[in-house]
A and B are shown apart, each in its own frame.
Chain A
């Protein structure tokens, strides 16, 4: 166990300090307010706890210096081997050496499609972005889409078909499997197979029409073959809710573009739903405040575990997950859903919140929307349907469609039991009735709820096979393991959240001996064929296209990345509120009295924010990108509220014991402001026992206490002390900028009345010593050397980031990693402050309140300061300015003094302390690199380049396209030659990787003088420079974050202090009067 300093935080002191802060307080963590030793170290030095030369004795020093000097000379001399050029034998028609190609495809997410556009360089896919024509992404992406390219090149992927740990031919498996299937043929003379089916197929959520058709045909031919479904972290509650309300499966589509008042019930619609990328865009489009459009939607979030949705809400109410049901009923009662009685949990905060929400939703009418979370009970979902119906929102902000996924299990989803299908399978397996089990993808042995004894049951199945991308816990429990192809390697098809079908087209031949699910099922059914033929023939039949017409149509489907007209039919269903069980029907019995030393709690289970249910565990990018709220990397933790930590004397990293229904888990805690009290969040997905080298021995296994009767949250848990601790690495203290007002937040009302940001005189602390000398901190007068020097046709690059629509999802940071060959450094190096992401997304808590602080996100790339502090301190001129205003970092000049980083007030420079990019010389990872960007070696500084490779490419392409004239580069917001406004998906447009990825279009890049989007943004009154008082004249600027609080709640939020100060009824009524 690592040695960890336990800084037991004194929360009383922290509260006192917070209360004493002047003006709006922004803080990154409790340590910052407490000014702990650790925080001081991070503030004082960018890389604290280094060994210095002074720590060496004289002899050691001379030895090191002598060796360095000698080797410095030697290292400069190399004999380069003769390079070879290997041309094609027959050149593919489209490939032009040096030019990227893009292909439309789709990435599976919980079985659903996210439309992607994959960039390929000379035959290797290197980057994944959203497909602008696809409704699920509209050209944007998220961290999982970006990171899925790394999964393709994961060196730990399984490479061969294995039988009992030895390489075996697939034919042997097919032979065994067909024998089992023969037994599943109908007995002569009988109708259907008697008794339990001997052959079972366990699949995750399936939307692939081809696979559905195949499996149905298989089950028809072999009545003794049966399909089961299991998705550990799928939308099972949404399905259960649909069954409750409508008595059938439906898929729900939200139209945030039409919603002006939204209530989110403990769910994260901004990030984790199959349609989230699209939802985030639609939601943000209603929040983009410009001079010409001073209005925005209003989001209320009631949530347990803090998520992005809560962080971006105008009003957030932390409630224990178990209390959300009662709250929902209260809202439903307020909205006039018949037969609803609900009460809000004690505390006038919740009551005021309830009244305001109900009134606001009512007044919004058809523009209102209630969004239940995936982790809330089916009853909450059904209630949401009833509320949306009562509001008149159905048909406007919410529509229902035929489900895109198919339930082949033949067992209707029992609303109370999402795992019925798996349970039935396990029962039959234990009874010895299953002769063969084929697991199509997923890792059920690891992800199955703890009370479903899948591993034991598996041992009773004679033939058990696992199709999976990695050798994992499930493959270890099976006797056959078949490598599964990545979605970039195999033909397939998927349907998106709205039902739109996309052909999944591969970009590269399988790297290993792998197979896709459809190829395997086809081979099983004695009709082996290529994935291409299978998908093509399915769609030819499904769309009734003649084979001559197919050639052309097929090309169009592939080119567009979707099959037009395949979106699911919309349904007219009526929510039946009467079917919703009465309150308390689902709630657990009275919690047992906890053992001594233990305290009763509620346990919330959530998939990890980055690696989800464990499937992305071996993906270094997803491991290292800080989790949006906690900023933890490489680990999971038990989240507890600050109040509970204080009561139980818990500190970060300290282990606790969590007991639930006789099961026990020991895990480290992470104090999370905004988490409800008497409740803990356990993230599952980590703690894998058998996986690749990246994911091994990381975190703890949360599944061990997750049971099928309460997969999302359970009351009756107990928390108590446990020995030891685990070192969790969070980036929340790293690269801290000690400056005034790094983020600016205002309410839209104030902003509309007085757009200029209030200066020091508005501070509560006006008159004190600091404010009096505040001229020192004001931005000095303009003396823009660029404005004078710059000629009209010289580009002046700049960026603007709209904090108002930034949701903090990290997609920009991940896209940057993929675009710019940014290496992964590992947990130890992150702990030393050496992570390499060029864009860090800072998360600030705002307010003086530990129970429910506001959260603000701020992505910080290089500012490309016009008066860059990094430049004058470089002794070798390795960082200098370009004539277009780029702050250039020249790797081949850099000698690694790190002076520039030291002098950067924004802390955006990253240093290669080791040869991180070398990837231990694993050849397959070299395929991943973007050839347009240098792979940096050890001892070199690096940072955001504004994607200069894209600038250069766009410049050259624009010049060539318009032969001798200097054609302007196409920039977003510009008018092109035909008078059309250029947007992100215009061919040849210059956009940075982060801008392209951003789901909410919060980043704009362009020329700060020409008429284009970035100039328009920068002319908004909300525009401000980060640490502008330093007069660095950054080219990257920010648009202040705006909130749209309900006037009835406004002062209550501002004051809502700690529990002790939690607004009395008086403060609420006061708020009411003030709002007049």
Chain B
């Protein structure tokens, strides 16, 4: 009787067996790799905008405070996006003929929302939490959490890009151990700054020159390294613990689901 399977079938069978084990693993590894990569999360990917606004120029070179444009960041859940009038408060005087600023002038002239060259309305959103997450800027700023911890080195961005992917596990790093995130600089004590004022003091110091950033902590913050990349020293953690007590941060409550989801 003739053989039903040729001898090559052996190899095929072995490959199939091997594949059955390896392929799913490979799929998972590749799949999660892609999911976590910038291709999916858009971390470090600058987005096109109607006007190529440079945070580096406005913040680091000109020394404009975050709150000049993001007016509600310390008092509301939303940080706020500047209306056309805010742009025009300077650009009606300087760079009045710059072709790059034409969308702003057009908006001002016609009283219409800002439009891209392709006709689409509005700025492209860079940072976003899912709809079922309720993030509040004001309470973070008021407890001295710097913008850069979440948003990356904004003051150095030529075009705004996402600094972090906002995974839930990443949020929980601070919410589980806020002592790692809370800090107080020496200058704050000397100048009697509130935690909120300390947040913006950092950018003021950085703008005057990186050498003004006295501690490793501040340099890390200014560079936009978040707590996946920065390991606070034991003294810093100790100070953080004191601050947790002082600010009445209820650590257990921070990880209650309804703090962010509701």
Q: Which of A's residues lie within 8 Å of B, judged by CB?
A: 82-91, 96-99, 793-794, 880, 882-884, 886, 888, 890-893, 932-934, 945, 948-949, 952, 956, 959-960, 963-966
Q: A91 to B77, alpha carbons, bound, how many Å?
A: 17
* With A83-B125, A83-B128, A882-B258 as contacts: A99 and B76 at CB distance below 8 Å: yes
Q: A58 to B247, alpha carbons, bound, how many Å?
A: 61
Q: A626 to B121, alpha carbons, bound, how many Å?
A: 45
What are 20 A-to-B residue pairs whose CB atoms are below 8 Å? A85-B124, A87-B84, A87-B122, A89-B107, A90-B83, A96-B71, A97-B78, A99-B72, A99-B75, A886-B258, A888-B257, A890-B261, A932-B262, A952-B134, A952-B262, A956-B138, A959-B139, A959-B142, A963-B196, A964-B246
Minimum CB–CB distance from A900 to chain B (whole Å) comes to 14
Minimum CB–CB distance from A870 to chain B (whole Å) comes to 14
A883, B121: Cβ atoms closer than 8 Å: no
Q: Which of B124-139 contact A (CB under 8 A)?
A: 124-125, 128, 130-132, 134, 136, 138-139
Q: Which of A85, A89, A966 contacts B248 (CB 8 A)?
A: A966
Interface string of B98-118 (1 = CB under 8 A from A): 000000000110011110000
Q: Which of B2-44 contact A (CB under 8 A)?
A: none
Count of A-B contacts judged by CB separation below 8 Å: 137
- Set of chain B residues within 8 Å of A794, measured between Cβ atoms: 250, 252-253
- Set of chain A residues within 8 Å of B84, measured between Cβ atoms: 87-90
Q: A694 to B262, alpha carbons, bound, how many Å?
A: 29
- Set of chain A residues within 8 Å of B253, measured between Cβ atoms: 794, 882-884
- Set of chain B residues within 8 Å of A97, measured between Cβ atoms: 72, 76, 78, 80-81
Q: Which of A83, A90, A882 contacts B257 (CB 8 A)?
A: A882
* With A84-B123, A882-B253 as contacts: A945 and B77 at CB distance below 8 Å: no
Minimum CB–CB distance from A651 to chain B (whole Å) comes to 45
* With A84-B124, A86-B121, A959-B248 as contacts: A964 and B256 at CB distance below 8 Å: no
Q: Is B46 an interface residue (CB 8 A)?
A: no
Minimum CB–CB distance from B16 to chain A (whole Å) comes to 23
* With A87-B82, A89-B107, A883-B250 as contacts: A891 and B261 at CB distance below 8 Å: yes
* With A883-B253, A948-B262 as contacts: A84 and B134 at CB distance below 8 Å: no
- Set of chain B residues within 8 Å of A956, measured between Cβ atoms: 136, 138-139
- Set of chain A residues within 8 Å of B256, measured between Cβ atoms: 882-884, 886, 888
A87, B257: Cβ atoms closer than 8 Å: no
Can you add 9 more A-B contacts, CB < 8 Å, to A84-B121, A892-B132, A933-B262? A82-B125, A87-B114, A88-B85, A89-B111, A883-B252, A949-B134, A956-B136, A960-B75, A964-B194
* With A86-B122, A934-B262, A948-B262 as contacts: A880 and B248 at CB distance below 8 Å: no
Minimum CB–CB distance from A476 to chain B (whole Å) comes to 40
- Set of chain B residues within 8 Å of A933, measured between Cβ atoms: 262
Q: A892 to B134, alpha carbons, bound, how many Å?
A: 13
A90, B113: Cβ atoms closer than 8 Å: no
- Set of chain A residues within 8 Å of B153, measured between Cβ atoms: none
Minimum CB–CB distance from A1003 to chain B (whole Å) comes to 20
- Set of chain B residues within 8 Å of A88, measured between Cβ atoms: 83-85
Q: Which of B's residues lie within 8 Å of A, judged by CB?
A: 47, 71-72, 74-78, 80-86, 107-108, 111-114, 120-125, 128, 130-132, 134, 136, 138-139, 142, 194-196, 246-248, 250, 252-253, 256-259, 261-262
- Set of chain B residues within 8 Å of A952, measured between Cβ atoms: 134, 136, 258-259, 262
Residue of A nearest to B108 (CB): A89
Q: Which of B77, B86, B121, B195 contacts A98 (CB 8 A)?
A: B77
- Set of chain A residues within 8 Å of B86, measured between Cβ atoms: 91
Most buried by A among B82, B130, B142, B262: B262
B125, A84: Cβ atoms closer than 8 Å: yes
Q: A86 to B125, alpha carbons, bound, how many Å?
A: 9
Most buried by B among A89, A96, A893: A89
Residue of B nearest to A956 (CB): B139
- Set of chain B residues within 8 Å of A882, measured between Cβ atoms: 253, 256-258
Q: A934 to B123, alpha carbons, bound, how many Å?
A: 25
A87, B113: Cβ atoms closer than 8 Å: yes
Q: A965 to B247, alpha carbons, bound, how many Å?
A: 6
Minimum CB–CB distance from B259 to chain A (whole Å) comes to 7
A84, B120: Cβ atoms closer than 8 Å: yes
Residue of B nearest to A966 (CB): B248
Residue of B nearest to A84 (CB): B122
B258, A945: Cβ atoms closer than 8 Å: yes
Residue of B nearest to A946 (CB): B258
- Set of chain B residues within 8 Å of A87, measured between Cβ atoms: 81-84, 113-114, 122-123
Q: A884 to B250, alpha carbons, bound, how many Å?
A: 11
Residue of A nearest to B48 (CB): A82
Q: A770 to B257, alpha carbons, bound, how many Å?
A: 43
* With A98-B72, A883-B252 as contacts: A964 and B134 at CB distance below 8 Å: no
- Set of chain B residues within 8 Å of A966, measured between Cβ atoms: 247-248
Q: Which of A82, A89, A893, A949 contacts B124 (CB 8 A)?
A: A82
A963, B194: Cβ atoms closer than 8 Å: yes
B83, A91: Cβ atoms closer than 8 Å: yes
Minimum CB–CB distance from B126 to chain A (whole Å) comes to 9
- Set of chain B residues within 8 Å of A890, measured between Cβ atoms: 257-258, 261
Nearest 3 A/B pairs, CB to CB: A966-B248, A98-B78, A84-B122
- Set of chain B residues within 8 Å of A83, measured between Cβ atoms: 124-125, 128
- Set of chain A residues within 8 Å of B72, measured between Cβ atoms: 96-99
- Set of chain A residues within 8 Å of B132, measured between Cβ atoms: 891-892, 934
Q: A531 to B257, alpha carbons, bound, how many Å?
A: 48
A949, B262: Cβ atoms closer than 8 Å: yes
Minimum CB–CB distance from A614 to chain B (whole Å) comes to 38
Residue of A nearest to B248 (CB): A966
Q: A84 to B114, alpha carbons, bound, how many Å?
A: 11
* With A96-B80, A952-B134 as contacts: A888 and B258 at CB distance below 8 Å: yes
Residue of A nearest to B247 (CB): A964
B142, A793: Cβ atoms closer than 8 Å: no
Q: A97 to B138, alpha carbons, bound, how many Å?
A: 12
Q: A964 to B198, alpha carbons, bound, how many Å?
A: 13
Residue of B nearest to A97 (CB): B78
- Set of chain A residues within 8 Å of B120, measured between Cβ atoms: 84
- Set of chain B residues within 8 Å of A82, measured between Cβ atoms: 47, 124-125
Q: A85 to B134, alpha carbons, bound, how many Å?
A: 17
Most buried by B among A82, A87, A965, A966: A87
- Set of chain A residues within 8 Å of B123, measured between Cβ atoms: 84-87
Residue of B nearest to A90 (CB): B85
Q: A89 to B131, alpha carbons, bound, how many Å?
A: 26
- Set of chain A residues within 8 Å of B248, measured between Cβ atoms: 793, 959, 965-966
Residue of B nearest to A99 (CB): B76
Residue of A nearest to B139 (CB): A956
Q: A945 to B130, alpha carbons, bound, how many Å?
A: 20
- Set of chain A residues within 8 Å of B75, measured between Cβ atoms: 96, 99, 960
- Set of chain B residues within 8 Å of A948, measured between Cβ atoms: 258, 262
- Set of chain B residues within 8 Å of A86, measured between Cβ atoms: 113-114, 121-123
- Set of chain B residues within 8 Å of A886, measured between Cβ atoms: 256, 258
B81, A85: Cβ atoms closer than 8 Å: yes
Q: A891 to B260, alpha carbons, bound, how many Å?
A: 12
Q: A149 to B161, alpha carbons, bound, how many Å?
A: 40
Residue of A nearest to B87 (CB): A87
Minimum CB–CB distance from B136 to chain A (whole Å) comes to 6
Minimum CB–CB distance from B101 to chain A (whole Å) comes to 15
Q: Which of A84, A880, A934, A960 contacts B142 (CB 8 A)?
A: A960
- Set of chain A residues within 8 Å of B107, measured between Cβ atoms: 89
Q: Which of A880, A932, A934, A965 contacts B131 (CB 8 A)?
A: A934
- Set of chain B residues within 8 Å of A99, measured between Cβ atoms: 72, 75-77
- Set of chain B residues within 8 Å of A98, measured between Cβ atoms: 72, 76-78, 80
- Set of chain B residues within 8 Å of A91, measured between Cβ atoms: 71, 83, 85-86
Residue of B nearest to A934 (CB): B132
Minimum CB–CB distance from B34 to chain A (whole Å) comes to 12
Residue of B nearest to A793 (CB): B248
- Set of chain B residues within 8 Å of A891, measured between Cβ atoms: 132, 261
Minimum CB–CB distance from B138 to chain A (whole Å) comes to 6
